[in-house]
Structure 1
């Protein structure tokens, strides 16, 4: 029986002692003199990962107040009552207010007929035309039943030079070194008929001998909506052809990715040039005014019959195409593609002030090379607007005044969601344009109170020489010995019963003097921990926790 008793006793000790740290933590929390720490700490990337914040920021201050106490408990397990940590963190505040009104607005794209109503015979406004004055009438005519407050981005072209009026390219393809988005479709034959060459695309059926092949080269969809009086021209060369009808230029209005089910019309031009490239005549293409079409080049070659080696039945021409253009009566000249915002207000369209949409020339001014905004006239995830827009604005708005505000809207390409409009709010600060930041660096103060980390507005402040001087001036007549000693030694004598003693009540009076001078507009319930140089037999410091209540600073309970 005695042996069993001892075993149980040992087991009992084992069970009780399996988590000794719990007792240590409990002792620390309830100790009369707990570890009181004070620190400033900024969250790291690893901290955000531990908090499962994949974007490296909090979505609201409330989230930070909810999540950080547990984080602090793990990081400072031995700190007790009266401890404080100022936590620096990233806070997502979102886009500037009002920017989405413009990035998500309706868009109206001007057509040639719109320009014509203003007297233009070209594909845009002439250089001397004030587009802002012309746009409201066009919006009135084109937007049915606008609503009060409706915002529209009017996108248009503005010539930078007087255009040359005549036939102008509406759609053009330059095949020098590129298929320009056209697709090869094999009908029969084993050879790759269509190839991209340095100066053209080439259809060819000769591969050491004439081979039997039929292969199409089909254009992307071409939208000719609202276009009229169209002409067609091709620059080509046809060599070694016996039967020129084996090469065809075809047009379809119902092509849907299957050349064999679509309806095709043949374009019959004069005999192509041989040995040298030459443009065709301007072929009447008006049958396709207003249509959406696809164009195809169909190449067919006939191979030799191997059973009759003495007879040449083959026909394998070389068809080279340099360029193609669909034209209309218009103008040729450099254009700047712009946009302006208008709001429908009180029955009319009014230009919106304080917002600017980047034009094609604006992007070009930031660089037209590879990896620069002017290459595709947009920004992207690899081409941040923040790296360009402040400089652009400082150069283009040099007379902007301090605190002047401007919304900038720009085109943006996202690899995940495609083309879109984005924008930001810029303010002139210190003579420079500064953009609104959707994620900001900020801080939250936390204090350890009754076993928990809680959000705390406590500010820590240490008395300096000017503060001691202010106290001596304000309280010198009331406490001459204490203030004289303080002025001589730069500290407060805290020895009980000494003639120069600073009691707790006297220290509180001194704190009121200093805080009323330094923070006269401090809010109710604002907390401070004031550090003061003291002498209690040796030189040291002492902290005093106060809170503003009823307009006065009192000790915290």
Structure 2
């Protein structure tokens, strides 16, 4: 544990009730001294071992659950009003900086094939010589209705790398990498459902009703628009162990009259005939890529593709779909999946500076073997971002200067895939992740998460309230002697505190707390504290 700041004091007077003077009288009567400490800690591997977490926390709730008892063990005599600022690591590398959280929560827009400059030729990405940033602002303008100032969009797209030729273009692809690729899962019978899974080199959609008896489940694609396409074809990479020749238990279907979310039994479904199939034998999880299945019967139509699974009392196959793709005549070539954050500013969409979204090639550059980011193009609890990104950034920008900053956003898998990120800063010549910070306060009984900011009035604060005789700036304190000409009641001191805090800390969020220390004269010079919270735009007593 690295201890940054350690302050301890004895505090006898604290305002906490609706009438602060009652608190003062009670504290005087009780004559009870409270030991108050303030500390700022950076947790180390030894701390994580003591806490029973391996290398960092998995969730913020875990931080809030484990740290109170840990702080009690470290500082058993500290009491009400004590504070602890904790720097720690999250296994997902996520920072709780507001600017990073805002990017994490941003909406996404995935470019459709028709958005690309050569989309009319069935290109599924920007050409190597096209700058995506020259096009995306206009694409968002045409596709995002009624944006508001400051809105942020993560725009994801593909760009061809290397040679581009005329051939077959991947017009639509369901990759099932960490999720169900937007497919609709419908359970008709039994307790099993489709879900996203992974093993070895593969991420896939999976279902198995082993041990569950009769089951029927559908996995239905979003609408796929083939109205401007001809001679499309379908291809699937799949494994189907334990089917034992009962191939009618799994089927690939196509409908032209189904609507997402409606009754799938009311639609008409055509079964595709696929000749190249897996062996279906027990424990044979080898994937087999099918032939191209002709979809020309659906020229000019919009379709849905469905994967229908059935299990009986005697046979419960496992069905794993690595990917499914619809190909059309068009542009063929290798693509790199990329992303850029755009913000709506002064009436137009502009690429955000200081933010970098990892591409497929970036993940691959950090390793493609098992246990590395390029295996599935993401990080997870065992493939920790901080173990890879500092080296990656040093290679990407070898001329970075001390204190240069960059927010790096990436995909993270934890049951499902989501976007997370962190701020990286060059410190002593090395890119360093920003550790998240949570503040805890002691409420007199326990340590609790607390956003309280401790603030001490300065001479400038007193002066800002007036320097003439009778005002706080004349003696740089508040006169709390009742009956005197310059007496300041708790209510008037609260009003002065509002003036100072609203001026010094504009834009604070509702619920922000302050513990304000200020000088008083009660016949002798003292330091008092008032605890306030922002409510309805003004600070009120806690």
Q: Which has the larger radius of gyration?
A: 1
TM-score of the aligned structures, taking structure 2 as reference length: 0.48
TM-score of the aligned structures, taking structure 1 as reference length: 0.46
